[in-house]
Amino acid sequence: GLGRFGVLYVDNAATETTLESRFRLVVTATAESDNGLSFGAQIRYQSNEHRSSYTGGGAGFNTPRFWVSTQGFTVSVGQVLGAIENMPGMYTGSVGLTGLGYANVVYNFAADAYTSGGAGAQGLDVLWSSGNWGVHFSYSWTGQGNTQTDDRVAAHVSYSMGNWNFALGGQDSNIAGDTSWAATVGGTWGNFDGTLQYADNDGNAKWGIAGNYQAGASTFVRGYINTDDAINDENYGLGFQHRMGGGTFLEGGIASLAGNTRADLGLRFSF
Amino acid sequence: GLGRFGVLYVDNAATETTLESRFRLVVTATAESDNGLSFGAQIRYQSNEHRSSYTGGGAGFNTPRFWVSTQGFTVSVGQVLGAIENMPGMYTGSVGLTGLGYANVVYNFAADAYTSGGAGAQGLDVLWSSGNWGVHFSYSWTGQGNTQTDDRVAAHVSYSMGNWNFALGGQDSNIAGDTSWAATVGGTWGNFDGTLQYADNDGNAKWGIAGNYQAGASTFVRGYINTDDAINDENYGLGFQHRMGGGTFLEGGIASLAGNTRADLGLRFSF
Amino acid sequence: GLGRFGVLYVDNAATETTLESRFRLVVTATAESDNGLSFGAQIRYQSNEHRSSYTGGGAGFNTPRFWVSTQGFTVSVGQVLGAIENMPGMYTGSVGLTGLGYANVVYNFAADAYTSGGAGAQGLDVLWSSGNWGVHFSYSWTGQGNTQTDDRVAAHVSYSMGNWNFALGGQDSNIAGDTSWAATVGGTWGNFDGTLQYADNDGNAKWGIAGNYQAGASTFVRGYINTDDAINDENYGLGFQHRMGGGTFLEGGIASLAGNTRADLGLRFSF
């Protein structure tokens, strides 16, 4: 799990500066059959700033995910991971303690995505990896407790070659605004890694570049800039992470989402 | 705890075929006094298909149960276990991944029963076992957070002799439909064990036979057939369990509940 | 965590005698940075008699608290601990299994206080201790998810000298009824320890004396008596605790709160 706390500033919000905190407890259960099948199940409890799990408190355990894996092949049932969400390089450029709105993510969350803080979508994922190749297929459909108005079928293929990574994903869905396809190209050069990100979100292109730079023994700088036809505007952000060892971090960042400024600063630790 | 997922078919249901899943996390806390009293408390988190514990999500921790035991004698306070529910042989013949409606259980859940998925009843259990004998007394009463319209007092006595088991239980309650008394007789012969089950549910007899057969090194076949005066009809079911080791199982079954067909198939694991 | 169960009597309550139980599960997560900063986060699940965390069930996890400490200095963010609540000697004289209404606590909970059974207040605590001195500062403010009508700033200083302990606390708040200041003086003499407690709650003085006496190898007697201008009446209570080893206890007590009698008896264990 993780704990984080700090201060968040959002320009023009009702309260611009707020105490920011998150507690996330990950409960993972596993078993292995005699023939080598790995079984697993996971639920996550998440409480954001001042949320309890008492009725109306706003915190809770998310919907479970179950899986069986063997030799690089995984079938997952329950809350969908999402093939577009999990493309390599999709989250490159996430800045600050909180992600500051995650405007760096070019598919704009217009596809199935796993969430610790809610229900997500119920369905299936099939994942396969072998050598330099990876394949991820995901499927959620109407009914089954899902409130979506159409089925979502998505897949991505990824390939790595030397210090380059390529991923291409597509989605079949008639939900308004949903991502049609997305692509990422990433590379690593010494202390720097960067990724070109592109998504076609129901006809609107969003594309940009994001990168990480290791500025010192334990200090990292991250940034992104992109343009989104859906809002006819740009987003950009810059953040740093200082690793204090033992899974503890000092993080902060500043971002501009279509001209609106956000900033944060705080401590985070993993457990 | 346990995880299970698969497919469930219920004839004539609004959606006949559904993704079935359950995540159950059992939290047990214990302590022991210097004079040998064992203290315990247990809560269980349960989430069925696509349920979260967020407000309105439908999953959660059940009501706690507390106990003190010493030398075969246990006093339990909080959520009631139920003396009729816990008669030996009452659940023989449970089929499939999900129990397929548990029509094999002849007391028709018309008595206090422990549940992981809700509140159950609040009260007391007293259990005692010695040699071949077992005694279980349970008591829940109106008020105390219980919504029931009358007190429920129940008890059973069990006795084992060679490869035979006998149990007799009775309940005092004026709640409409509640079980008056029940009896089970079970025996084991090599790879087969079977149980005769009888219950008088407020004047309606439900009785039948259920059994398990070990068909191979790790494969079990289970079945039951019974008749219930309350519905003037029969129930029967047949299921299999394949044990894959490490607490992992492949399970499935088919049952007819008063002529309505149910079937399931899936994977289950314990942790 | 803890489990407790027993019987509670409250004179003139709708149901005077009730089954009493509480299950509390404490989840604490920690990490340590290379430079010696200790990070921590804690949530607590609490279920009182027959409460579940299902929607409307009334049990749940409280709001999280996060902290960073180093060398006697702690900054805490999230649910406020409360400087008045945590004055040394404030809880001396708590009687019975349940506290029987905690009328021994002279500040009448008219300040920020940490709770396992609800939301509490969101804000900050700063704690510092060195040698015989201790300082605690707490702050919660309007907005931030707090429903309070004014900011609460509180602090206490404590000092120990030989077998004497002194604490003085004050609070700045315009919330009606809130405590202005409080003081405790405690001492230890052999098997007995006692504390004088005083609080000025928005102009109403509440003051009294409370103590513990070790009556045998594992038996303790506790009591208090105080007078409260706010109700123009007295409260007093007497309780015992028998330690059975391994973190298990038999506890009971009787108290008079402004003339109304309460009594309880039961078992408690820590885990």
Contacts of C32 in chain A (CB under 8 A): 246, 248
* DSSP conformation letters of A188-235: EETTEEEEEEEEEETTEEEEEEEEEEE-SSSEEEEEEEEEETTTTEEE
What pLDDT shows up at residue C148?
87
What are chain C's partners, defined as 3 or more CB pairs within 8 angstroms?
Answer: A, B
Does pLDDT of A171 surpass 90?
Answer: yes
b/e for A128-148, b at 16 or more Cβ within 10 A?
A: eeeeeebebbbbbbeeeebeb
A244 part of contact set with chain C, CB < 8 Å:
yes
Q: What is the mean pLDDT of residues A125-151?
A: 93
pLDDT over 90 at B201, yes or no:
yes
Phi and psi (nearest 5°) for A238? -145, 135
Contact C246 B143 (CB under 8 A): no
Residue C144 has its nearest CB partner, among A50, A53, A57, at A50
CB contact residues (below 8 A), chain B span 183-212, against chain C: none
Taking contacts as CB-CB distances below 8 angstroms, the residues of chain B near A145 are 49-51
Please give the radius of gyration of chain C, using alpha carbons only, rounded to the nearest integer: 19
Confidence of residue B65 (pLDDT cuts 50, 70, 90): very high
ipTM above 0.95, yes or no: no
pLDDT in the model for residue C63: 97
> Which residues 11-30 of A are in CB contact (within 8 Å) with C?
15, 18-19, 21, 23, 25
* Nearest one of C25, C3, C198 to C97, comparing CA atoms: C3
- Per-residue confidence (pLDDT) for residue A147, from 0 to 100: 85
- State how far the Cα of A244 lies from the Cα of C34, in Å rounded to an integer: 6
Rounded (5°) CA angle B224-B226-B227: 165
Those residues whose C-beta lies under 8 Å from the C-beta of residue C57, and which sit 6 or more positions away, are: A55, B60, B63, B119, C51
Confidence of residue B233 (pLDDT cuts 50, 70, 90): very high
Judge whether residue B207 has pLDDT over 90: yes
pLDDT score of A260 more than 90: yes
Of A43, A45, A145, the CB nearest to B49: A145
In this model, does residue B148 exceed pLDDT 90? no
Are residues A59 and B54, on separate chains, in Cβ contact within 8 Å? yes
Q: What is the pLDDT of residues B81-101, one digit of tens each?
A: 999 999 999 999 999 999 999
Residue in chain B closest to A67 (alpha carbons) equals: B5
Which amino acid belongs to residue B217? A
Write down the pLDDT at residue A254: 98
Q: Quick one: fold of C74-270?
A: Porin (2.40.160)
Distances (CA, A) of C190 to B133, B161, C93, C132: 52, 60, 17, 21
C27, C39, C55, best to mutate vs chain A, most A CBs in 10 Å? C39
Q: In the predicted model, what is the mean pLDDT of chain B?
A: 96
% of chain B at pLDDT higher than 90: 95
Distance CA(A18)–CA(A6), nearest Å, equals 9
At residue A144, the pLDDT reads: 78
In this predicted structure, the answer to whether residue A145 has a pLDDT above a threshold of 90 is: no
Q: Is C130 exposed, middle or buried (0-12, 13-18, 19+ CB in 10 A)?
A: exposed
Per the prediction, chain A carries an average pLDDT of: 96
CB contacts of B3 in chain A (<8 Å) are 29, 39-41, 64, 66
Which CATH code, of 2.40.40.20, 2.170.8.10, 2.40.160.10, 3.30.470.20, is assigned to B2-270? 2.40.160.10
Name the 3-class secondary structure at C206: strand
pLDDT digits (tens, 9 = 90+) for B173-188: 999 999 999 999 999 9
Write out the two tokens for C235: 């409260």
Predicted local distance difference test score (pLDDT) of residue A143:
81
Nearest CA in chain B to C20: B78
Tens of pLDDT along A36-92?
999 999 999 999 999 999 998 999 999 999 999 999 999 999 999 999 999 999 999
Cβ-contact C218, C241 below 8 angstroms: no
**B25, B54, B271: residue with CB nearest A31:** B271
3-class SS of residue B154: strand
Q: Is B166 left (phi over 0), alpha (psi -120 to 50) or beta?
A: beta
pLDDT tens digits, C229-258: 999 999 999 999 999 999 999 999 999 999
Average per-residue pLDDT for chain C: 96
Taking the C-alpha atoms of residue A5 and residue A18, their distance in angstroms, rounded to an integer, is 11
Structure tokens at C154: 């509180």
pLDDT band at B144 (very low <50, low <70, confident <90, very high): confident
DSSP, res C82: -
CB pairs under 8 A between A and C: 106
- Which regions in chain C score pLDDT beneath 70? none
In which band, very low, low, confident or very high, does the pLDDT at B269 lie, cut at 50, 70 and 90?
very high
- In degrees rounded to 5, what are phi and psi of residue A93? 95, 5
What confidence tens digit (pLDDT) does each residue in A79-131 have?
Answer: 999 999 999 999 999 999 999 999 999 999 999 999 999 899 999 999 999 99
- Please tell me the distance in Å from B145's CA to the nearest CA on chain C: 7
Is B197 within 8 Å of B90 (Cβ atoms)?
Answer: yes
Write out the two tokens for C264. 């309880």
Residue-range domain boundaries for chain A: 2-270
